A and B are shown apart, each in its own frame.
Chain A
Amino acid sequence: MRLPFFSMFLTSPFEGIQEHAEKIKECAWSFQQAIECYISIRCTRFEELRQEVCRMEREADGIKRRIRGHLPIGTLMPVSKFQLFRYLREQDGVLDALEDALDWISYRAEAGVPPEVEKDFLLLVDAVIDPIEELNKMVCEARKYFRTYNEDQRTVVKDIIRNLRQQEHDADKLEDAIKRNIFHKCTDAVTVFHTVRLAEIIGSIADHAENAGDMMRAMLAK
């Protein structure tokens, strides 16, 4: 039923953002499995997992479009629409980077990871999964803050943002280590290029998560 009085209340964009963040988390699990599959020689499910991530990415894109398409001019929100869209773009960047990494692998999947950096890669993947989980928590806690405007709650969100920054820093260090190692231990130019690029893409996942955190910090500003 359409009531002007009720249609004053739009579907909350925060709901969509939370849904989007959940999707990313789901994606991240499949991503982790896919990378592990890629590294272990015996696994044949890589393509299947990549397709799953692609499917989830499309779904998340749908959510993103829904959020953007349902905020008409004159919408009052606790944060500015501009900030919200910037935030959403960064959150979506996480997802795009996940997909990009798997796509990049798929171009040269049969070659596998050089054994010298296998362990580093597993560490790097773990290091970028953490910020994704943190991101999810941040959205949830931020929503609570906008409901209560409580100072303690604000601190909780700010702490999460600080964690994100730290985690990004850690991921950066691992990314550096991989690049350094591969140049030292591998001589095949194609392998070096593929591996360096892959490390960069995976590293960018954490970058986007950090950026999302920074945008959230801007939304929290009083």
Chain B
Amino acid sequence: MLTEYSVLIIGYIFGFYMAWNIGANDVANSMASAVGAKAITIRQAVFIAAILNILGATLIGSHVTNTIRKGIVSTEVMSDPQLALIGALSALLAAALWVSFATWKSLPVSTTHSIVGSMIGFGIMAGGMKVINWMKLFAVVMSWIISPIFSLIIGYVIFKLIVRLILSQEKAILAAWRLSPVFIGSACFVVVLSFLFKTPLGQQLAIGTPMAILIAIGASVALGIAGRWGIRKLLDEKGDTVELIFRRIQIGTSCYVALAQGANDVANAIGPLAVIYFIVKTGSVGSTVPVPIFLLLFGGAGIACGIWMAGSRVMTTLGTKITTLTNTRGFSVDFAAATTVLLASKLGLPVSTTHAAVGGVLGVGLARGLEAVNFRIVFQIMIYWILTVPAAALTSMLLFWVLRAIY
């Protein structure tokens, strides 16, 4: 029989492993387009992503987490602490194994969907089919379809606008400069709203929607004007100045994605660990558990380690392969992905940045912005998205069964 403390130690190991995998698998999300567009070097991208993920996880990450991610399984399965302990452990390991497999096979899967899948597996084993919240599961399924399509449309429109309003103008540089407050402002608008609505810190502030929109408008107007003033000196530079202007904006959006990713995804690794920690300390668990700050830091460090170790490998492929993703294209992709994630999470859909980014790239491709992009690959990627939930669920069920037998 395992003692509770050994469970906790195993939990730490699994939690770190999961966080590591999140870092390794998701690093491309935030920095992909920026590196592809040569806005930053690979080394810088890895460094910035690691730091911002730790900061995002520790400072913005939620200090209270739902016992079950996304409420996909009814909390009654948690009533038996012993069962909950095994459940959290098997869910954590199952999700980590799947994400690990995906990282090894270089498949972009959603870490959130992995943990949701493994929670379903544990829920079915512990409480049967009736504990599954089918509506929530349906929302997950919908997100596979909605997020790429939505992002595709936004990416298409944004790129077409950039072409129509800036690139094809006679004096493209002047047009870019004139319109830069609009682009900086709208990027800022999405970022501020995402921050207020999507990150745990923003949710804690509990600002109402009208107020949040007002704040976002204020911030974007201020930043737009400041940005226009800031890029003034770029006008005298030689080379493709339009791209240089968008390069500046793109670095900003990439950093935001890294920060938000740390804040949101850390719970995928730390949520189940917090449950284990809480049960070991207090003996029972409710529908939410407090997350001590050192656990968040622990998770952030795990993500940073993953980024550090796998990041440069991913980035190298990316930097050499995606040569046609210039800054204007990269900005369109980033903007599409960020807006989709924001709107979808406002609608309560658990979308993944990866899914949205794929849609954004295709949108820009449809707008004739990329020299060659393969549309059909999206179906291949979609298969892995769909596979994620059942694969994680089955692994989790198996692990739960094994762990319960050991107990």
Q: Which A positions have Cβ atoms within 8 angstroms of B?
A: 1-15, 71-79, 146-152
Contact = CB atoms under 8 A, between A and B. Distances in A.
5 contacts: A3-B314, A75-B375, A76-B365, A77-B372, A151-B170
B159 to A, nearest CB: 10
Nearest to A70: B372
A5 B381 contact: yes
Contacts of A152: 170
A5 B313 contact: no
Contacts of B108: 3-5
Contact of A75 (B167, B242, B372): B372
- Which of A11, A12, A72, A148 has the most chain B CB within a 10 Å cutoff? A148
Nearest to B371: A12
A151 B167 CA distance: 8
Interface in B358-407: 358, 361-362, 365-366, 368-378, 380-381, 384
Contacts of B373: 8-10, 75-77
Given A5-B354, A76-B362, 20 more contacts: A3-B108, A5-B381, A6-B318, A8-B373, A8-B374, A9-B321, A9-B361, A9-B372, A9-B374, A71-B372, A75-B372, A76-B368, A76-B370, A77-B368, A77-B372, A148-B240, A149-B163, A150-B167, A150-B168, A152-B170
B107 interface: yes
A176 to B, nearest CB: 41
Ranked nearest first, the 5 interchain pairs of A and B with the lowest CB-CB distance are: A12-B371, A74-B376, A76-B365, A74-B375, A10-B372
Interface of B: 28, 32, 106-108, 163, 167-170, 172, 240, 242, 313-314, 317-318, 321-326, 354, 357-358, 361-362, 365-366, 368-378, 380-381, 384
A75 B323 contact: no
B371 A14 contact: yes
A4 B317 contact: no
Nearest to A76: B365
A150 B368 CA distance: 14
A72 B322 contact: no
B268 to A, nearest CB: 19
A3 B376 CA distance: 14
Contact of B381 (A1, A4, A13): A4
Nearest to B363: A76
A78 B384 CA distance: 29
A78 B371 contact: yes
Given A5-B354, A77-B368, A72 B374 contact: yes
B368 A78 contact: yes
Nearest to A151: B168
A7 B106 CA distance: 11
Contact of A11 (B325, B372, B376): B372
A72 B376 CA distance: 9
A10 B378 CA distance: 13
Nearest to B163: A149
A57 B318 CA distance: 33
A76 B313 contact: no
Contacts of A15: 371
A73 B169 CA distance: 33
A4 B377 contact: yes
A13 B245 CA distance: 28
Contacts of A5: 28, 32, 108, 354, 357-358, 381
